[in-house]
Structure 1
């Protein structure tokens, strides 16, 4: 196989496989059958494209091929279970070529899938787990780590959610406008989780999975167009501003560059300006939503000409507000860092120590890394080394591991 064709297929798999699977889930109305059909479609591409060339619309080709592969698969099984022949006939009759090749419909299929996975009849933890697996393509092991549970327990949760969708005949569709507000929070939370996994991967060799971050932004735009409420606009603004820095976050070797050391000329000013405009649209509603506040904090970082000119007093004030409306240990940790920048490392360290003393975030590597940085600033080198070592033992991410190892080497 020509190397260029193989590289193209690998790139299409990275960027399009989740969308292909989402469309096949809608068409086939079966998660597992759609997963198998997606793999079969890419296997067919590996065989045919080196000879025939890459089609003009690879995604539509893959959807069409996957659909026929699935129907063939069901027909083969029908030899042993005659009831499946009716299912195969129904699948073939229900899918028209015009629907299959409708680009607008294909574009919206991931959003349809998110709304399906976030249906209110599913438990909240099942909604998140199923979406991260089916929309993001995260492994069961990675999701289990995020949920602090075992892969087997997480897998059972996902299987039960799929069966619920099938047995309750939950439709693969974007709900009506009257139903959207009740479903919005769960969908926004899932899109934010998708973005976070792209912005800072929970495990693996690559810290940034840009294709996931871009997909989350694309989905965020669709939701903001469907329902331009303050929280949807705020989330889109937050993602745009955070993503604006991605070219400056890693060096040529793929190692992490801290915010204070980043080359700010590499930040995408168009995305920052778009995020600022979205915040201005959201603020007049008079409602203080979590995503809007986080976006405002991100904007203060983005608009500072230099790290030394960051308005930490304003940022700490926003964290005070965020803690009141969305109390969580992560918000407390970020607030502690902001207060350390405003009032000195001892003030921030006291807050982090109190947080850890309550038994919260003891297994969160960034809490120990932040504590280590403050201890180092206070000249407490042995304690800083211990804290860095704890952080290193807790992270599953190769880029962060290298960063913490460098910090430890400097101290030692």
Structure 2
């Protein structure tokens, strides 16, 4: 691979979604924009190695993609007068929400259309706009890839059949889409912070993408939950350098070197969490940020205020009852009240979390603390069978080897 081709590959990874977002805004059609985006990168592969990279590669790609689409329209619509064609090349007039200047954020709002079911909105946006694979989206929802693929296909069909336009919503339409947009950003960050499969625990590209979207959103919506979500991501991101050892192996929270935590992000996150909690309209993201803040403020793992964390999980369960939240609360409960107490909360969750490997990791930890080695081994093996992230699989295998003498 030549240096020019390597640079194009890097630019594709870095800018492809942003170029696509801009083309969808300009062309008003997702399928045509996707074709135009691919055509633009093909043109870059043909021209850049010979003529050199343009000064602004992203603008070049957008321009090339837009004119590729116009050429295609010229061939497909002979009856259309040539006088109409220049209108296709000019940017459409924005709605009164033109202050949404980030094309990717605009497109997330556009795709979170209330005509679609919330699950379809999230799956479609994560897959088509944020660039997650179908498998990654499926694991975010603890569902099968087939189910998610069918959901995305049905969403696209509904968009076509109902002629739902890819238009930036007006000011009045934005608030009704905000919850879905926040959920998209939250799930995007989660996949980057703890990837569901592959060779790497982290994807900095995804976490930075999610944080950037939230930072763009905050001045537009200084809402408590926007603050809570951004604070949560800052606080989680602050631990990134401590989550892997020099050999790239996973380091659990209790064993992390807290001197490696980013104090700037922690300060920002705690300040924003306090603002969200003081608003009087506390939501799930603000509560999760508060939980992350308790960890961030603890000088050592032993100093963690587990009683406060349990209280926050109690509030979170009322607002957002789910088996995963109940699992996290059970783990915190065990830290304060012991493994036997945690097991009484964990065992009833087994049916709902049968496909979730972290559930079995929690079970194994409780069994180990009670020296129930056989049950702990079974739980770890079940977790290993379900886990698809290689660094985590290696951690589970090391834990199984440590149990072998017992």
* TM norm. shorter chain > 0.5: yes
Deviation at 1:56, TM superposition (A): 2.6
Report the number of matched residues: 400
2:73 & 2:398 partners in 1: Cα distance? 54
Q: Which residue of 1 aligns with 2:102?
A: 108
In structure 2, relative to structure 1, the CA distance for the partners of 1:91 and 1:123 (3 Å cut) is: farther
The residue number in structure 2 matching 1:36 is 35
Partner of 2:259: 265
Q: Out of 399, 403, 409, which is 2:391 matched to?
A: 399
Superposed, 1:199-218 pairs within 5 Å as 199-218=193-212
Q: Out of 198, 211, 219, which is 1:225 matched to?
A: 219
SS of the aligned residue for 1:33 comes to helix
For the residue of structure 2 that corresponds to 1:379, the secondary structure is coil
State the alpha-carbon separation in 2 of the partners of residues 391 and 90 from structure 1: 60
Report how far residue 148 of structure 1 moved: 5.2
The Cα of 1:273 is off from its aligned counterpart by: 0.9
Q: Does the Cα contact within 8 Å between 1:112 and 1:172 map onto a contact in 2?
A: no
**TM-score in terms of structure 2 length:** 0.91
Shift of 1:234: 0.4
2:235: which partner in 1? Answer: 241
> Aligned match of 2:156 in 157, 162, 174?
162
Once the 2 structures are TM-superposed, how far is the Cα of residue 351 of structure 1 from its aligned partner?
Answer: 1.0
Higher helix share: 1
Give the alignment partner of residue 172 of structure 1, picking from 167, 171, 174.
Answer: 167
Can you give the 5+ residue segments of structure 2 that lack an aligned partner in the other structure? none
Picking from 294, 297, 305, the partner of 1:300 is 294
1:376 aligned onto 2:368: yes
- CA offset at residue 370 of structure 1? 1.0
State the match for 1:323 in structure 2.
Answer: 317
Cα pair 1:241 1:272 within 8 Å, conserved:
yes
> CA 1:152 to 1:363, structure 2 compared with 1: closer, same or farther past 3 Å?
closer
Q: Please tell me whether residue 194 in structure 1 is matched to residue 192 in structure 2.
A: no
**Aligned equivalents of 2:83 and 2:117: distance in 1?**
34
Which SS does the other structure have where 1:350 is aligned? Answer: helix
SS at match of 1:318: helix
Give the secondary-structure state (helix, strand or coil) at the position aligned to 1:361: coil
In structure 2, what is the equivalent of residue 355 of structure 1?
349
Partner residue, 1:335:
329
Post-superposition Cα deviations, 1:14-61, rounded to whole Å, max 9, x if no partner, equal 221111111111112222222222222222223322333332322111
**1:224 touches 1:232 (CA, 8 Å); kept in 2?**
yes
Cα distance in structure 2, aligned partners of 1:91 and 1:35 = 20
Q: What does residue 179 of structure 2 align with?
A: 185
Contact 1:241–1:298 (CA under 8 A) maintained in structure 2: yes
Moved more, 159-168 or 367-376: 159-168
2:119 is the alignment partner of 1:120 = no
* Normalised TM-score (structure 1): 0.90
Q: 1:122 Cα shift?
A: 1.0
For structure 1, the residue ranges without an aligned partner over 5 or more in a row are none
Instruction: Give the 5 Å matches for 1:45-56.
Output: 45-56=44-55
The residue that corresponds to 2:11 in the other structure is 12
* In 2, Cα distance between equivalents of 1:89 and 1:401: 61
Counterparts of 2:232 and 2:261, CA distance in 1: 14
Cα contact 1:111–1:174 (8 A) shared by 2:
no
- Mapped partners of 2:26, 2:92: distance in 1: 13
Deviation at 1:91, TM superposition (A): 6.3
RMSD: 2.5
Q: Choose the corresponding residue for 2:357, options 351, 362, 365.
A: 365
Deviation at 1:92, TM superposition (A): 4.5
User: Are 2:142 and 2:355, in contact at CA under 8 Å, matched by a contact in 1?
Assistant: no
CA distance in 2, matches of 1:28, 1:369: 48
Q: Once the two structures are superposed, what CA deviation does each residue of 1:110-166 show, in whole Å capped at 9, x if it has no partner?
A: 111111111111111110111111122122233344445554553343233234445
